[in-house]
Each structure stands twice: as structure tokens, then as C-alpha cells.
Amino acid sequence: MLVISLEGNARATSFDFRKDVRLPLFQDRWMVININDVTLSGEEIKIFTTQFGGDFIELKNVRLLEGGIKDPNTRSNTQWGPNSNQFVLKGGIDTKPTVPGLEAQEIEAWIHGATGKRITLEKPGGGLVGVDVSYRRTQDLVDFYEASASSGAKLGYGLTDKNIDFDGSINDDRVKRGGPFANDGYFTCSPPDGGGVE
């Protein structure tokens, strides 16, 4: 899981949000919630995501930390490599307060959770933020997320799975990517050993 921690004030323009909720008691019905073209601002925001993409991202004055860090102000670490329990790219080290440590454009992400001291949604130029709620069938969602000739799959939805021996049984708790019956195209948030995100 990738955790994006914005320690100061953050601002995102032309922000679109979509949430698909499977309706209980109905086999083939979803409630789709859309909030489009708003400005999102906040303070001390943390975003938890497993799929992330974009056209441009820049981190200024970066410090790299990996594994078992006791003191975030030191460059020492206790473990490197695939068994380390975290990998941190910290931007904005010794950067002037008026210079953002992170800038990005055209970012897309599957967001599994977000926290913050303050989050505000506002419409550019004022006015009310509109929330669109519609009811769709499963095939409508598949059509939206799967690859098309013009746009390609949304954040890797529909990618061929790497677990070639995945059998999809109730005893196989790994996640198979893509398709309407493969964990809805998401990756798991929990590592196999039951550890969590720090």
C-alpha cells in the first residue's frame, strides 16, 4: 500500500470523486456516487492507495528512508530490501514554506482510506457542490472500468493476474485483479502476515 502524507496544506483542482456501492438485497444493482470538478483543500491529509497513476509528479528536496526507522530525522536505518516494513520518500526537506514539497498533475488513484484535520470541497467560482447519485447494473460498472479503444483500463483494471495458480476458491485469500467477479478489480490492503500500514 502507498501512503501519501501531506503534512502541510494541500490543494487539488479539477478533483473528481466516484464511489460504487453494491446495494443489499439486489443482485445486480449498484449505487454510483459522483462529485465532479471541485477544488479539494485540506490540512495534514493522508491518503491510502494501492493503485496510483498520473501524468506528472515532482518531489523536491527528497530524503529516502527504508525499513525500521526509529528516528525520522536520521538517515540511519535497520533494514533494506524486500523484507523492510516501509519505504519512505519524504519531500520538502529544508524547502522554503512557500515552495510545495510535492506537485502533480492528472493524478488518478484507487483510494481505500483518507484522514485529515480538515478537508474542504468547493466549486470553482463559488456555488454549490453537486453530488450525482445514479443506479447501475454490474455490466455498466465493468464497461466503465475495463479497457476501451479510446482510453484504456482505469488504473490497471482488467490486468491479467500474476497468480497463475489462483483458483478463486474461498480458501484462496489472495486477490485476483480485474473482472467483475475478481474482488472488483482492487488489490488487498492487508499483507499476508496480517501486518498493517504504519
Answer whether residue 65 is part of any domain: yes
Same domain, yes or no, for 40 and 62? yes
| Structural domain for 113, as ranges | 2-137
Q: Which residues of 64-102 are buried (b: 16+ CB within 10 A; e: fewer)?
A: ebbeebeeeeeeebeeeeeeebeebeebbeeeeeeebbb
The string of pLDDT tens digits covering residues 66-78 is 775 555 565 555 5
Q: Are residues 99 and 24 in the same domain?
A: yes
Q: What is the pLDDT of residues 12-60, one digit of tens each?
A: 889 899 999 999 888 889 999 999 999 989 998 888 887 888 888 888 8
Instruction: Tell me if 105 is assigned to some domain.
Output: yes
Are both 112 and 173 inside the same structural domain?
no
Number of domains in the chain: 2
Shared domain check, 161 and 115? no
For residue 198, is it within any domain?
Answer: no
Domain end residue (candidates: 137, 162, 182)? 137
Q: Which residue has the higher pLDDT, 109 or 177?
A: 109
Question: Is there a single domain that holds both residue 133 and residue 143?
Answer: no
